[in-house]
Structure 1
Amino acid sequence: MKTNKPYPLRPIALAIITLTALAGCNDETTYIEQPKQSQAPAKQMRAVFTDYQDAIDTLDSTEFGQVTDQMASSRQAVDRMYLDKLEAVDRSALSDEDKIYFDTFQFDRNIAIRGASLPNPRFGNFAIPITHFYNYIDWNATTAGAEQESADDYHKHIQVVREFTAWTNNLHSQYAMGIVDQARLPKILANRLIESTEKALAIDTDPYGLLRLGLKDIRQHSDQYDSSFIAEYEKAVDDAANAVSGLVDFLKTDYVDGARGVGSEEDTNIGWGDLPNGQAWYQWQLDRNSTTGKPAMALSQLGEDLVADAKAEMIRVAELVASKRGATLQAKWREADGTFSTRTFNLRDSNGNINLNEFFDYLNTEQFFFGRDGKNVSGTEFAERCKTASSQSACEAALVDYNTFKTDANDVVAKYFKPIKTDYTIVPIPANRELYDGVGSYGGNEFNLNTNPDYSLQKWNVSTLLLHEAAPGHHFQNAYSIEYPPADKPDYIQNVWYTAYAEGWALYTEWLGLEMGIYGELNNNGKPTFVNATGMCKLDLDYTTFQGGIYTDAEECNALQYFGSLNEAQLRNMRLAVDTGIHAKGWSIKQAQNYMDQNSALGDGDIESESYRYAAYVGQAVSYKSGYLVIKDMLEKAQGELGGQFEWAAFHDQLLKYGDQPMEVVETSIENWIKTQQ
C-alpha cells in the first residue's frame, strides 16, 4: 500500500540542498562540519573525497549532466565546502603518496571555484560551448540511440533517451542565452559544428538515424515487447530527434546570424579573447589546461622561441637528404586546384644553404602519403578492419607499417618500464569522422588512426605517432596506472584527468624514442646519428619497395623518421604560439595556417584540421609542451641528483602509477621521490 510519507534524505543530501539553496544569498556565513580530529589524517582526507563525490552525484544525477549558470554556482558552493574540509586536514602528517592526492584535490577545487566566479560560469564546463572537435551532441546521441542487450535494458534506457531530449533542449536555451550576452561561437566554428553534427547523426536517408538504432532493434524483435511500450519508445526517440532538429535549425538561423565574422578563414577576432571578459576566461582555460600558471603572453613567447630553435635539427636532416639525393629533386606535387605536376625542389639556395621551405614542400609530395603514392595495397590481414575507412588501400598500407613498428617498439620499450600485459589494437577512424577528428587518438586500448589520404600524417611520421598514442605513450599511461596502482588509491583520484599530464607524457615519450635509439645511436650532444637504430628502419630491408621506395637506405630512413619526431615536436612548439595567437592576439585561422606552413612540414590536411582544432578547443593546445617541459625538467633533476643510482623503470613508475596529476603536483611528487632514493 502506498503512503505519502516522504522518503528520508541522506545527511549528505540535506547538506547539499541547504548549501545550494544558500548559494545565491548574501549571507556569507557557512557552517561546515569539520573532520573529526580523532580520525587519522589519511582517513580524514579520504572521507572528504568520498563525501565530495556523493555530494556532486546528489547535486546532478542525470545521465548527461546539467549545464547552466545556476548549476555552475551550485557546484561552486560544493567545491568551497569541500576545499574547506580538506584544508582542515593536517597535510604535514600525510605520507608523500597521500600528499599527491591532497594537492590534486586542492588544485581541482581552486581552479573550479575560479571558473565559477567568472561571468557566464557555464563556460567553466568542457561541454559549453560545444564545437565540432568536442561534439557532445554527437557523443550523447550515440549513447541515447544505442542498441541495448535485453528487453529489460530497453525499459531502463528509455529514461536515458528522455534525458537526452532534456539535455538538448537545455543546450538550445544556453545557445540562445549566448546571443543575449554576446558570448557565442564565431560563425566559422558554428557552421563547422552544424556540418559535423548533421553528418554524424545521419544514417542512410534518415537525418537522425543515429538516435533510432535502438528503436530499430526493438522493432526487429517486436514479439518481445508490448505494443504500448514500443509506441512509448517511439515517442521518446521522436522527441529526441525533434529536439536535435530544433537545435540545428536554430543554429543555422538565429545563432549564426550576427555571429562574429562572415564564416571565412580570414576572419579575425574569433577567439575567446574577443568575448565579453574573454581574456580572463582565456587565462583560466590556460591555467586549467597547462596546470603551470604561466600567463598567455609568456606561453606565446616560449612557443616562438622553441619554434626557432627546432629548425637547426631540421636543417641537419635536410643536409643528409641533399647529400644522398642531390640538391635538386623532382617529385609529383598536388597544386592548390587539385591538379598534379612534376615539380622541381631546390634544397639549397644560391649560397649553398638549406632552403627549409623547399625541403618542407618536398616532404609533402604525393609519394610520402598513404593512398596518394599510386600504390594499390589490398588483401592484407587488415582488409576487414579497413572497411570502415574512406580509402581501403590507404588504410591497409598504413596499418601494415604501423603494426610492423608496433612489434619493434614493444621490444625496445621493455628496457625502460615494468612489463605491461595489456595489449592495444590499431584501428582506422571511421570515414564519417575522418574530416573532423585529428590524425590520431587513443582510448579503450585502441590507437585510432586517421587513414584518410588527405587528413593523415606522412609515412615518415609512423614512428613518432605510434610512440605518442600507444607504446610507450597513452596506452602505457593508461595500462600502467591500472596494472601497477598504489595500494590505497582513492576513487576520486582514479577519475581525474589533466591534459598537461596526459599529453605532456605522450610528448615526452616521443622524445624518449631518441634515448631508446629508435633513430640511431646518439652523439655527444644527445642527437641521433641515424646508424645502428632500434626502430623500423632495418639494414636488411629492401628500400626499393619499403614504404613505396621513398628512402635510399636505412640511414635516410632513420633520418626522415627522426624528422617526423622533430616535426611533431615543432607542432607542439607552434601550438603555444598559435593557440595564444588566436585567443589572445586576434589571429585568424588563415594566419594560424600560414604560421604552421612556414615553420614545419605539416601536410595541408593536417594544418587545416589542427588550425580549426585550436580555434575550437580553447587552451588545450598549450598543455602538450607545458607538461612535457615539466617532466623533462624532473628527469634531468633526477638524473643529476641520483647519478648512478638513477633507474629508468623506477622513474617512470613514480610518474605513472598515480595517474593524472597537475604538473605542479608532479614536481612535488618527483622531488619527494628523489629524496627517498638517496
Structure 2
Amino acid sequence: MNTNKLRPVALVIMTLTALAGCNDETTYIEQPKQIEDPARQLRSVFDGYQEAIDTLDSTKFGQITDQMASSRQAVDRMYLDKLENIDRSALSDEDKIYYDTFQFDRNIAIRGASLPNPRFGTFDIPITHFKNDITRNAKKAGAEQKTSEDYHKHLQVIREFTAWTNNLHSQYNLGMVDKTQLPKVLITRLVSSTKEVLEVGNDPYGLLKFGLNDIEKHQNQYDEDFVREYTKAVNDAQGAVTGLITFLETDYYVNNAREESGDKTDTNIGWGDLPNGQAWYQWQLDRNSTTGKPAMELNQLGEDLVADAKAEMIRVAELVVKKRSATPTADWRDSNSGIVSERQFNLLDQNGNINLNEFFDYLNTEQFFFGRDGKNVSGTEYAELCQAASDQSACESALVDYNTFKHDANDVVAKYFKPIKTDYTIVPIPANREGYDGVGSYGSNKFNLNTHPDYSLQKWNVSTLLLHEAAPGHHFQNAYSIEYPPADKPDYIKNVWYTAYAEGWALYTEWLGLEMGIYGELNDEGKPTFLNATGMCKLDLDYTTFQGGIYTDAEECNALQYFGSLNEAQLRNMRLAVDTGIHAKGWSIEEAQKYMQANSALGDGDIESESYRYAAYVGQAVSYKSGFLVIREMLDKAQSELGSQFDWAAFHDQLLKYGDQPMEVVETSIENWIKAQK
C-alpha cells in the first residue's frame, strides 16, 4: 500500500487502529529524523488538521451526530499530539500565539466530545431561535444562482439541506430518549421564528424557492427534465422542514419538551437541569469566557459588579434632577395594558435620595424612544433603506442620529489607532427579524440596527451602541485584522472566532469612549465631567429639536449618553448573573427579567429579547465582561510598566492584528509585547 497517497483521515483511522492493537512486547526501531524548522512544523500541523476535518465532513451544512463528534475527537487528539511534539520555546512570539490558540481549541473540543451526548460539542445542538440554523441553511439552499451551471451544481446543496434537516429531526428524537430536550419556552420561539422567516410573500416556504422561482421565470433556458428534478429537490426540502416543524410543535412540545406551562414562570429551563447538565454548562462557560472561571464565581462577580455600577447611575440622576426637577412628567406606556398616559416621576425618595427605580422608569418614557416620541421623520437620505423596517419614521429618525455620531466618532477614534480604510454602513434589521435579533449586530461591514419602536434601544444609547458595534468596536476589530495582518498568519488562525475576545473588545471600546472624551473631560477619578465633550452632544446644537428635544443642554445630553454607557456596562454585569442564574441556579425567564428591571434602565422590549436569548444561547452572555476584564487588566499592566513609553496605537495593534484569541492567550501575548517594549 502506498501510504503517501492516503488522506489524513485515513491515516488517523489507521493510526488509532494500530495503537489499539499494540502491546508492551512490540519493538520499534527509531529511524534518523530530519530536523524541521518549528515554524514550518506548526503550519504543517494546522494545514493537516484542516484537511483532515474537511475530508471527515465535506457536506455543506455539517453532520450533527454523536458518531461524527467522536470522529472529530479522534482527529483533535491526533493533531494535538502533533502540536505538542513541536518545541514551543523555539517559536517566535507570534507563532506562540498561534500554537497556544490551536492547543486551546483542541483541548476544549476534546473535553466536549468526552462528555455524554457528544453531539452537544458541535456548538450547534440544540438549535434555538437565537441561532436558528434551520432558517439560515434554508436561505442558502433556496438562494438564486448566477448561471445555469451554478444551478446544476446547487442541486446537491438542496439535497444536502434536506438530509441535514432530516438528521436534525432524528437528533431531536434522540434527545427525547436521553432526556436532553429543550424547554417549552424555547420550542415556542424556535417554531414561531422559523415559520416567520421561512415565509416570503404569501408562500409559507418562500425562502426555499428563490432559486426555483428564478428558474421558472426563465424555463426556456433549462431542460424540462432538469426543471422537474430541481422542483422535486425543493419539494423534498420543503417536506423535510414541514415534518420537523410539525414534530416540534406537536409530539415534541406536548409530550416531551421540558417543563409544563411553557411560560415565563417555568424554572429549571437551563442546561444545568439536563442530565450531566452542570458539567456541560461549565464546558460552555469555558468555551465562551476562555478564562476557566467556574459558574458560581462568575455569578458572584456579576452580582458585585451590578452593585458597584449603581453609584455612577446615581450621579447622573442627580444632575438630571438639578437640570429639571425632582418630579418631571412625561408620557408613560403601561407594560401590561399598553396604554400611554402622562405620569409624574418622583426621582427623590422621602429622605431626599435618588430613587433609581423611578429614574429608570423616567428614562423609559415615550419621549426617549424612536417611533414612540410622537415625531414624524420622513424624506431623509435613508428613506429607501428604511423600507425594509417595520416603522419607516422610527428607522429614518434613528439612522439620522446614528450616522451623525458615526462622523463624530471617526474623527476621535483616529487618535488611538492606525488608520482604517474600510468603511461600514448602518442598515436596519428587516421587519421579519426585529423581534428575534436583539438591538444590534455587526457583520460584513454592516452595523445592523434594530429600529422597531418596541425592540430598539433608547435615544440615550446611540453613542454606546455605535462604539460597540462599529468604530472602534466590531468593525475595527474585523477590518484591522484584515488590513494589518502579521506577515505569516496561518490560514487556520484567520478562521477562528472567540466570543470573549470579540465581545470583550467591543465592551472595552465602550469604556474607551470615556478615555476619548466622548462624554466630556475626565476628573481626577477618571469619570466624565460632561463638559467639553468630543461626542455627539455639541455646544452649538439646538436642544429644543435635537433628538426630539429630550435634553436641556449639552451637559445633560452628555450625562444621559454616558448613562447609556453605564446601562450597557450594567447589562454585561447582569449577564454574568443572569446566564449563570438560568443555567446553574434554576432561574425562570420571569426571575431573569425582574432582576434586570431592578438593576438597570433597559426597556421592556430589550429585557424581553435578552432574557430569552440567555436561555437559548448558552454561556455566550458571560463572554462580554470576561473578555473585557482581561483586556482592562492588560491595559493597566502595560500603562503601569511602560509609563511614558506606552502608546495607544501600538497597544491596540498588538491586541487586534492577530485576530481572535482565547483570553488566556491574550494575556501571554500582551505580556510578551510589554517585555519587548522595554
Q: Assess same fold via TM > 0.5.
A: yes
Name the stretch that deviates more: 199-208 or 663-672.
199-208
Amino acid at match of 1:160: V
Q: Note if 1:70 corresponds to 2:72.
A: no
**Do the aligned partners of 1:36 and 1:44 also contact (CA within 8 Å) in 2?**
no
Give the C-alpha shift of residue 254 in structure 1.
Answer: 1.5
Aligned residues: CA RMSD = 1.8
- Percent same amino acid among aligned pairs? 79
Q: Note if 1:628 corresponds to 2:628.
A: yes
Give the C-alpha shift of residue 18 in structure 1.
Answer: 3.2
- Residues 204-223 of structure 1 correspond to what in structure 2 (within 5 A)? 204-223=201-220
Q: Note if 1:105 corresponds to 2:110.
A: no
Q: Deviations over 1:517-562 (max 9, x none)?
A: 0000000000000000000000000000000000000000000000
Name the stretch that deviates more: 36-45 or 184-193.
36-45
- Structure 1 residue aligned with 2:348: 348
Q: Note if 1:225 corresponds to 2:222.
A: yes
Q: Deviations over 1:216-266 (max 9, x none)?
A: 000111111100000000000000000000000010112112321221100
- Structure 2 residue aligned with 1:382: 382
Q: How far apart in 2 are the matches of 1:35 and 1:78?
A: 26
- Structure 2 residue aligned with 1:91: 88
**Do the aligned partners of 2:504 and 2:627 also contact (CA within 8 Å) in 1?**
yes
Q: Note if 1:614 corresponds to 2:614.
A: yes
- Structure 2 residue aligned with 1:3: none
- Structure 1 residue aligned with 2:263: 264
- Structure 1 residue aligned with 2:6: 10
Q: How far apart in 1 are the matches of 2:630 and 2:87?
A: 28
Amino acid at match of 1:303: G
Q: How far apart in 1 are the matches of 2:79 and 2:331?
A: 62
Judged with a 3 Å threshold, the aligned counterparts in structure 2 of structure 1 residues 20 and 214 are, in CA distance, closer, same or farther, namely: farther
- Structure 1 residue aligned with 2:78: 81
Give the C-alpha shift of residue 14 in structure 1.
Answer: 2.3
Give the C-alpha shift of residue 126 in structure 1.
Answer: 2.0
Give the C-alpha shift of residue 27 in structure 1.
Answer: 7.7
Judged with a 3 Å threshold, the aligned counterparts in structure 2 of structure 1 residues 221 and 27 are, in CA distance, closer, same or farther, namely: farther
Q: How far apart in 1 are the matches of 2:460 and 2:676?
A: 42
Q: How far apart in 2 are the matches of 1:166 and 1:21?
A: 30
Q: Note if 1:641 corresponds to 2:641.
A: yes
Give the C-alpha shift of residue 20 in structure 1.
Answer: 7.3
Judged with a 3 Å threshold, the aligned counterparts in structure 2 of structure 1 residues 640 and 342 are, in CA distance, closer, same or farther, namely: same
Q: Note if 1:132 corresponds to 2:129.
A: yes
Judged with a 3 Å threshold, the aligned counterparts in structure 2 of structure 1 residues 37 and 548 are, in CA distance, closer, same or farther, namely: farther
- Structure 1 residue aligned with 2:195: 198
Judged with a 3 Å threshold, the aligned counterparts in structure 2 of structure 1 residues 180 and 431 are, in CA distance, closer, same or farther, namely: same
Q: Deviations over 1:366-385 (max 9, x none)?
A: 00000000000000000000
Give the C-alpha shift of residue 35 in structure 1.
Answer: 12
**Do the aligned partners of 1:519 and 1:559 also contact (CA within 8 Å) in 2?**
yes
Q: Note if 1:56 corresponds to 2:53.
A: yes
Q: How far apart in 1 are the matches of 2:410 and 2:660?
A: 23
Give the C-alpha shift of residue 10 in structure 1.
Answer: 3.4
Q: Deviations over 1:247-292 (max 9, x none)?
A: 0001011211232122110000000000000000000000000000
**Do the aligned partners of 2:460 and 2:564 also contact (CA within 8 Å) in 1?**
yes
Judged with a 3 Å threshold, the aligned counterparts in structure 2 of structure 1 residues 28 and 285 are, in CA distance, closer, same or farther, namely: farther
Judged with a 3 Å threshold, the aligned counterparts in structure 2 of structure 1 residues 538 and 173 are, in CA distance, closer, same or farther, namely: same
Give the C-alpha shift of residue 172 in structure 1.
Answer: 0.3
Give the C-alpha shift of residue 11 in structure 1.
Answer: 3.8
- Structure 2 residue aligned with 1:525: 525
Q: Deviations over 1:371-426 (max 9, x none)?
A: 00000000000000000000000000000000000000000000000000000000
Q: How far apart in 1 are the matches of 2:74 and 2:438?
A: 37
- Structure 1 residue aligned with 2:676: 676
Amino acid at match of 1:12: P
Amino acid at match of 2:348: R
Q: How far apart in 1 are the matches of 2:269 and 2:249?
A: 18
Partner-residue secondary structure (3-state), 1:111 = helix
- TM-score of the superposed pair, with normalisation by structure 2: 0.97
Q: How far apart in 1 are the matches of 2:85 and 2:501?
A: 28
Judged with a 3 Å threshold, the aligned counterparts in structure 2 of structure 1 residues 284 and 226 are, in CA distance, closer, same or farther, namely: same
Give the C-alpha shift of residue 19 in structure 1.
Answer: 5.5
Name the stretch that deviates more: 313-322 or 334-343.
334-343
- Structure 1 residue aligned with 2:235: 238
Q: How far apart in 2 are the matches of 1:269 and 1:316?
A: 38
- Residues 535-546 of structure 1 correspond to what in structure 2 (within 5 A)? 535-546=535-546
Amino acid at match of 1:481: S
Q: How far apart in 1 are the matches of 2:182 and 2:520?
A: 47
Q: How many residues align?
A: 671
- Structure 1 residue aligned with 2:579: 579
Amino acid at match of 1:291: T
- Structure 1 stretches lacking a partner, 5+ long: 1-5
Judged with a 3 Å threshold, the aligned counterparts in structure 2 of structure 1 residues 28 and 185 are, in CA distance, closer, same or farther, namely: farther
Amino acid at match of 1:671: E
- Residues 380-459 of structure 1 correspond to what in structure 2 (within 5 A)? 380-459=380-459
Give the C-alpha shift of residue 37 in structure 1.
Answer: 5.0
Q: Following TM superposition, where does structure 1 have runs of at least 4 consecutive aligned residues deviating by more than 6 angstroms?
A: 20-23, 25-31
Partner-residue secondary structure (3-state), 2:314 = helix
